[in-house]
Amino acid sequence: MGRRTIVHVDMDAFFCAVELLRHPEYAGKPLVVGGRRDSTRAVVSSCSYEARAYGIHSAMPIQKAVRLCPHAIFIPPDHAAYVEVSSRIHALFETMAPVVEPVSIDEAFLDMSGCEHFYDDLTTMGAVIKQRVYETVRCKATVGIAENKLLAKLATDLSKPDGLMVIDRHNMDEILLPLPVRKLWGVGEKTAEQLASLNIHTVADIRKCGPDRLKNLLGSWGSAIYQMALGQDERPVETPKPAKSIGHEVTFAEDIPFGPALFDALSAVSHQTAKRLQKDGRYGRTVHLKVRFSDFKTITRSQTHSEGFNRASFIYNTALSLLKKIPPRPVRLLGVSVSDLQTCRQTSLFSTTDEGRVDELLNKLNSGLKNPLITTAADLAVKTGRFADQVTGPEPPHPARRTTYPPSQKP
């Protein structure tokens, strides 16, 4: 791979920054986005640097944050507003970089290889990006530039907030070597402990240790860590490819006998699948059912329709008819997914309900919500397992041992 120029852009305390645009009066004060101060279950989504000074950080329960800083301002998140600002930032990146890979709502990689000559040097490039972001959305960003994703992200980590850092061959070792191992991508507490057992605490220690011992200790992950310690990372910046299928599956804490309780669970996974389809604005044409029996034998069944669909009731009914054709044995895992995805749908001359208009209305009502609040009665019946309830009466749902979705993206 030739020499690349990779830029990592990370918005500073993004949710807070967006809130500050609407509430300038919060400026300079500890601000916590996540939930109201009396919220018992919410966690911190984002907090201002003033709040961080009190030890507040994201994912912390709101109540703990209240104890740490009682006079902080606590507000619930307004996801729609953040998405809107984020999409404007993304649109800006698209005009500046040939390849843009959004990492999350407030973070992206830009592959600027070949664009270097537009700027005096890489520091100027970074400064221009920071400035354009600020001009576009009035929020501050930290920019890291290096020849790969690992180092670019490291550069933003080390220079936040409102920072700009270029890591190149001249300063790489100076920056990298003294870093604690935890700063490397994917090195968590557990790996850090294992490394500490070899008396490895810093990146320099990893270099000294050499690849072979690391590989003995951690297998291929050890080799990967050694590569990172050398500052090497070949991963390309990639435009996200749309998923080929969307689905949901659930593994039961106890095997479920074939019967109403299983249909109940099927309605729940159908509903999750439909929710994701609708969120992505897509329609599928094929429903896949995956069933793993108690003896781990796994079977899949599918049915293709001539028309696109995105409704939970439709997915449930198709999956149910497939389920009823398989041997009635206790089930350990149940999954539903939808493929042949399209972003468009041929409308019909003869639909009795104007599904298109219903979709449009639902999209409008639910726009920006993480969990759509409004749905059709038929889909609600699927969500609440009403079909099965009619047979079994209200029974507590079986606890899920683990859920993953989409199944195809499971590592």
Partner 1 sequence: MKFKIQRERLVQGISTVERAVSGKDTKDASSPITGIFIETVDNQLHLVATDLEIGVECFIPAEVEEIGKIVLEGRVLSQLARKLDGEEVRCQLKESGIALLECGRARFNLHTLPAGDFPALPDIEGEQMWKIKQSDLRRMIRQTIFSVSADDSKPVLSGVKMEIDGLELHMAATDIYRLAYRHTPLVNEAAGAKAAEIIPARALQELLRVLDNEDEALVEFYITRKLAMFRLPGVKVTTRVIDGLFPDYRRALQFSDSGTKAIKVQRSELLAAVERAALITSRRGMSLVKLALDAGEKLLSVYAQEAEVGQVNEDIPVQGDLDESPEPVEATYQTYYLMDVLRYLDSDEVALDIGDGRRQGIIRPVGDDNYIYVLMPVRVG
Q: Which range, of 2-10, 84-92, 109-117, 341-349, touches partner 1 by CB under 8 A?
A: 341-349
Q: Using CA atoms, how far apart are residues 289 and 284, in angstroms rounded to an integer?
A: 14
Q: Which range, of 96-104, 229-237, 258-266, 347-355, touches partner 1 by CB under 8 A?
A: 347-355
Residue among 124, 131, 298, 343 that touches partner 1 (CB under 8 A): 343
Sequence letter at residue 322: L
CB nearer partner 1, residue 75 or residue 243 = 243
Q: What is the DSSP letter of 182?
A: G
Residue among 52, 57, 345, 398 that touches partner 1 (CB under 8 A): 345
Q: Using CA atoms, how far apart are residues 362 and 275, in angstroms rounded to an integer?
A: 12
Residues 145-164 that bind partner 1 (CB under 8 A): none
Using an 8 Å Cβ cutoff, are 65 and 21 in contact?
A: no
Using rule CB under 8 A, residue 281 touches partner 1: yes
Q: What is the dihedral of CA 24, 30, 35, 37, to 10 degrees?
A: -120
Using an 8 Å Cβ cutoff, are 114 and 98 in contact?
A: yes
Q: Which range, of 78-86, 224-232, 355-363, 383-391, touches partner 1 by CB under 8 A?
A: 355-363
Helix (H) or strand (E) holding 31: strand 31-33
SS3 165: strand
Nearest distance from C-beta of residue 248 to partner 1, angstroms: 23
Q: Using CA atoms, how far apart are residues 160 and 330, in angstroms rounded to an integer?
A: 53
Q: Using CA atoms, how far apart are residues 327 and 293, in angstroms rounded to an integer?
A: 10
Which of 50, 101, 107, 249 does the annotation list as catalytic?
A: 107
Q: What is the CA radius of gyration of the chain?
A: 25
Using rule CB under 8 A, residue 344 touches partner 1: yes
Can 355 be counted among the known catalytic residues? no
SS3 400: strand
Q: Which range, of 96-104, 249-257, 354-362, 375-383, touches partner 1 by CB under 8 A?
A: 354-362
Using rule CB under 8 A, residue 98 touches partner 1: no
Binding mask 299-338 for partner 1 (x = CB under 8 A): -------x--------------------------------
Using rule CB under 8 A, residue 90 touches partner 1: no
